Amino acid sequence: MEAQAVKLTVLGQICLYTGVLLSILLKPSGLSSNDGLSYFGIFARTVIPYSLGLLSSAYLSWLASKHVSTPELKPLHDGYITIAILTVAIVITPYSVGPLLGWAHTAAGTALFSLQLLLSAWLTYQLHYHLLAVILTAIEFIAGVACAVYLLPEHGLLMQCQVLFQLAFGMLLIFSLARLKSRTKAVLP
């Protein structure tokens, strides 16, 4: 695995959170709406930074997949591609347009979070249960459960829990890439 995958992943995280931060600055009411990050995808003022942040992150994830080529890391390669596809699906299916798009949006989001959590468990295993990997995966799990709890109520912390989940996943991915990169170079000819 090349160092390029690490760089692309870091850049993807920067793009994602730049889009989220700009959206929050443009429409701070999203922090109390309990509609999650997707809140920013339904307003003219925030749809561009929201969409650009997510879509550029998805594109960089797709590119990073091309730099994860060792057979031992195939789940990570496939995970990158699936994350990219699901992220695009989230952007193009605004939840407020109608029940069908709302269902598709929720299904894509649920699949994305589930995949990320499964990938995190796999990465933690690959890292022989390194303490930081375990802690970040546990944070993801707790934030994921909280996201599920906050999906239906009118008031809650859905966006904050989604951001915590994504932060933990991004940190674990970057940490894992750096460690697995050095490990696969030592093992491979």
How many helices, marked H, and strands, marked E, lie in the chain? 6, 0
pLDDT greater than 80 at residue 154: yes
Which tens digit of pLDDT belongs to each residue from 108-147?
999 999 999 999 999 999 999 999 999 999 999 999 999 9
Write the CB contacts of 61 (distance below 8 Å, at least 6 apart in sequence): 8, 9, 12, 80, 81, 83, 84, 87
pLDDT band at residue 97 under the 50/70/90 scheme: confident
Which of the listed ranges 1-5, 151-155, 168-172, 185-189 does the model predict with the highest average pLDDT?
168-172
Residue whose C-alpha is closest to residue 53's, from 27, 21, 75, 76:
21
Cβ pair 86, 111 in contact under 8 A: yes
